[in-house]
Amino acid sequence: RSPINHELELELRLMPYGSDQILLLARDVSKLRRLEVMRRDFVANVSHELKTPLTVVRGYVEMMQSSNTELAPQWQKAFTSIASQVSRMDRLVDQLLVLSRVENNIETEHQQTVNLSALLFSIMEDILWLNQEPQHEIVHNITPDLKIKGNEHELKSALLNIIANAIAYTPARGVISVSLTATAQKIRFSVKDNGPGIQAAHINRLTERFFRVDKSRSRDTGGSGLGLAIVKHVLNHHQGELSIISDGKSGSEFIIHFTQELAAKPSVAPVAVD
């Protein structure tokens, strides 16, 4: 314990020293950890506090827009703009709340066997319904009954984020293919699009909070730059590995590998042989 009665957390590193010695380096990271906890709490509290005023503003704007009073064109324009900005802020606050829940491991305890195939079928059903006047060609290939251990709520938000990005960043009439397949131990989830692609220099930064390759494009699509940060935390909770493949010019593929929860083999009782 440190003098101010906080848990002391040390980061230890072993390094070769000369030809036959080893150096042990210890760094006190407890202050960094405490600052990180304060940052997370701050973001969670602010987001939470913003929800109520946003709901009130939205309520009043909707009331004005639906009232029978004839509004002058400039007021109609102003209310439409306020409504769209409030929705944007609302989405951002929702994403911040989801991020702080995953960062603080709120859902992690609720673990169960999740049928990823069934979950993805239901996500695709919603997506195809929303894409009824087709903007894109969306195809899927889902192997049934692939299961992992985890939290369904978190997994849904991770898979949905990746599919929603492919749809948002691919220009109209693009092709998006979603697949869920398995090898002996692993499950492979993949979302491939023929959108603008992502340059190599940006790929490593995509899961950082608020990182967006093209801020104005992302703003147009309603993006907050938090989606892939959420995906990263969810995958940490599920030992999932994300790889992003793109030549930076045409199309990207987001792939996640999970370890499959295999059905227990029926145990065979030994048979006595005379």
Binding site for ligand ADP (CB under 6 A): 161, 165-166, 169, 193, 195-196, 198, 206, 211-214, 218, 223-229, 252
Q: How far is CA 48 from the centre of its chain?
A: 19
Question: Closest CB to ligand ADP among 142 and 166?
Answer: 166
Alpha-carbon dihedral 49, 55, 60, 63, rounded to 10 degrees: -170
CA separation for the pair 23, 264 (Å, rounded): 46
CA separation for the pair 160, 206 (Å, rounded): 16
Q: How far is the CB of 199 from ligand ADP (least distance, A)?
A: 10
Question: Of 90, 89, 109, 112, whose CA–CA distance to 101 is shortest?
Answer: 109
Q: How far is the CB of 184 from ligand ADP (least distance, A)?
A: 29
CA separation for the pair 56, 50 (Å, rounded): 10
CA separation for the pair 30, 15 (Å, rounded): 22
Q: How far is the CB of 242 from ligand ADP (least distance, A)?
A: 11
Phi/psi of residue 95, nearest 5 degrees = -65, -40
CA separation for the pair 89, 56 (Å, rounded): 13
Q: How far is the CB of 157 from ligand ADP (least distance, A)?
A: 11
Question: Closest CB to ligand ADP among 13 and 249?
Answer: 249
Q: How far is the CB of 141 from ligand ADP (least distance, A)?
A: 18
Q: How far is the CB of 127 from ligand ADP (least distance, A)?
A: 14
Question: Closest CB to ligand ADP among 49 and 214?
Answer: 214
Element (H, E) at 174: none
CA separation for the pair 164, 232 (Å, rounded): 16
Q: How far is the CB of 40 from ligand ADP (least distance, A)?
A: 18
Question: Closest CB to ligand ADP among 196 and 240?
Answer: 196
Question: Closest CB to ligand ADP among 212 and 238?
Answer: 212
Question: Closest CB to ligand ADP among 61 and 166?
Answer: 166
Question: Closest CB to ligand ADP among 120 and 198?
Answer: 198
The DSSP string of 45-66 is: HHHHHHHHHHHHHHHHHHHHHH
C-alpha angle 256-261-266 in degrees, rounded to nearest 5: 155
Contact indicator for 47, 66 with CB cutoff of 8 Å: no
Q: How far is the CB of 138 from ligand ADP (least distance, A)?
A: 13
Question: Closest CB to ligand ADP among 61 and 158?
Answer: 158
Which pairing describes strands 112-115 and 137-142: parallel, antiparallel, or unpaired?
Answer: unpaired
